[in-house]
Chains A and B, each alone.
Chain A
Amino acid sequence: MLSVKHLLGIKYLNREDIALILQTADTFLDVINRPIKKVPSLRDITIVNLFFENSTRTRLSFELAEKRLSADTLNFTASSSSVSKGETLIDTVNNILSMKVDMVVMRHPQAGAAHFLSEQVDSIIVNAGDGAHEHPTQALLDAFSIKRKLGSVEGKKVVIVGDILHSRVALSNIFCLQKLGAEVAVCGPPTLIPRHIESLGVRVETNLRKALEWCDVANMLRIQLERQDIKYFPSLREYSSLYGLNAAYLESLSKEIVIMHPGPINRGIEISSDVADGPHSIILDQVENGVAVRMAVLYLLAGRQPE
């Protein structure tokens, strides 16, 4: 059983929790590849997907995971709700919970929103991304994808390339991969690498070629232009020429590496089409694995016995 009541971040999970989630995800991956992809485990559970920020993959993935588990789902997007009339987060959630909802899956632009909510309302909270803080299910599905591709995560070298400063995926990935025994490095322009990140035990590399020669897996992050209020590098073209990955670059390396991307891809900036669609890429496997991992998270959280 999981040691936590909510999934707020990878920081709060221990290694056994992560191992249990990945092991359960294996069986769900098996389920979603059968002719009948549905199981009735959560048939008496209602889950609300609260999205205060745009999302395609994560929202659809959660919704599909909920439906595959036979849960009833409610969808909420902030732009078409009373939030735009000035309602507070707690009021919004408490109103939804009085309609007898058992679980809340929430994405919010503010870091710590999921943690705050878990202290204020009586429901199971799953963090689907809070600001530039954590995105736990993405880290779990990345670890799951590495495990399925390379057999295990322990001892592997993973480099996270790009906009580390604005990335919740980077932070959750660092926690998750380290807890599973992998070595992690971050790589990007110095302006996009948070200060003191080496205190988390990660290597910092500003030269892409050096980073790629070192690693087994490269996780290419998107440049989050929507979060960048100032200029962090002179131009996208310059960024792309220094930190973008194309097939010729990949072939010039002395070994084969696995390429991942959490999506959405800016084709031609951090990664070119011939890499994204190439043989080393497991980007679409990540999306498939995402449904299985989210099913595992929802199943295990809902299955905790009441205290």
Chain B
Amino acid sequence: MKKRWLSLVSLLLVFSFIISGCSSSTSTKDKDDKKAAKLEIFSWWTGAGEEDGLKALIKLFKEKYPNVPVENAAVAGGAGTNAKAVLASRMQGNDPPATFQVHGGAELNAGWVAAGKMEPLNDLYDKEGWKDKFPQSLIDMVSKDGNIYSVPVNIHRGNVIWYNKKVFADNGLTPPKTFDEFFAVADKLKAKGITPLSLGDKEPWTATMLFEDILVGTIGTEKYIKLWSGDLPLNDPGVVEATKTFKKMLDYVNADHSSRNWQDASQMVGKGEAAMNVMGDWAKGYFVNDLKLKTNEDFGFITTPGTEGDFLVITDTFGLPKGVKNPDDVKKFLSVLGSVEGQDAFNPLKGSIPARIDADPAKYDEYGKQTIADFKDAKLAPSLAHGSAAPEGFLTKVNQAINIFVTQKDVDQFIDSLVAASSDLKK
């Protein structure tokens, strides 16, 4: 009898556990509702310059709209590797941040727009009169089926060779403009015992970036874009030729490339151990802020061979996810983000150039001014390595193929794996 009573009590205890579990989960939900009123800005800008830029932007927003509470929900991790995983789980759990950083191009369109998770922003573009303030090809990168889905805040250029001025001057060399000039310069440097080209492909995207720059330099922007839309097969003779050039270039890189990241590779140029490095223009921030080098004195820059009139675009944009509780506040933030004032507050600190064509060049340094000028006339090519040209799934497979190719240097095998991966282009 006594035992039965005991078991009853313990059963009750179990139930009370379950009930208390339920009630605590409802209370956290209440908290979430309150939190949702905050404007949560989700990004991976936690590095030196970029965090300052984001803070300047938030400060500007607070001055204009003091009544909207803002939360900076940045997730650390280079190139957004961690942030993207956090974002994916939040979006799938129907708990989207108010607005989030996403690269314009496939990452936005083939990812979140195709998944039906984004609201169109056409009305905002009409209201702010932005349609002729951003380059049309950039608006195309953030549009799908005639609807615009995000606001670009900055532009980075991917096709830049950074070179050590002293090494070039000491050896009487001029920076190469074509592949022939590149290999001529590289041979001379190699003969003198200087690493001609530094590479740090511990994370394979840096090698993918080098490859995409060679690809644009070989086949041009128009054909390059057709590759990702499926209008040109990936075993096109131009791609094969670019792969062969890539293979030849790999003979001139440092032997320990697979143990270095991009900063280590840039550092080799800064120290004069290597003559050239191909990297996006965030490397300028690294040269100037971290290595304390001077633009056009210690290091110089030139577009990668054959891409003088091309511009490999990496653009960070912000959009409005579906199911957000405060869409009007988000639009207020996006209007600040897309304004001249907002772009000029953010970009000089981040080291990028504004996405708008009417921003004030006086606020930018020497490199920025020239890039702003180039950006106006150049043909824009979305970067593959940064998720703008093709879906993430395809990019992962390309990165794997590149990682194998850098060691095996088997052109046919590489082209085969590109073709095999191309079924993932449609996703």
Q: Do A and B come from one complex?
A: no
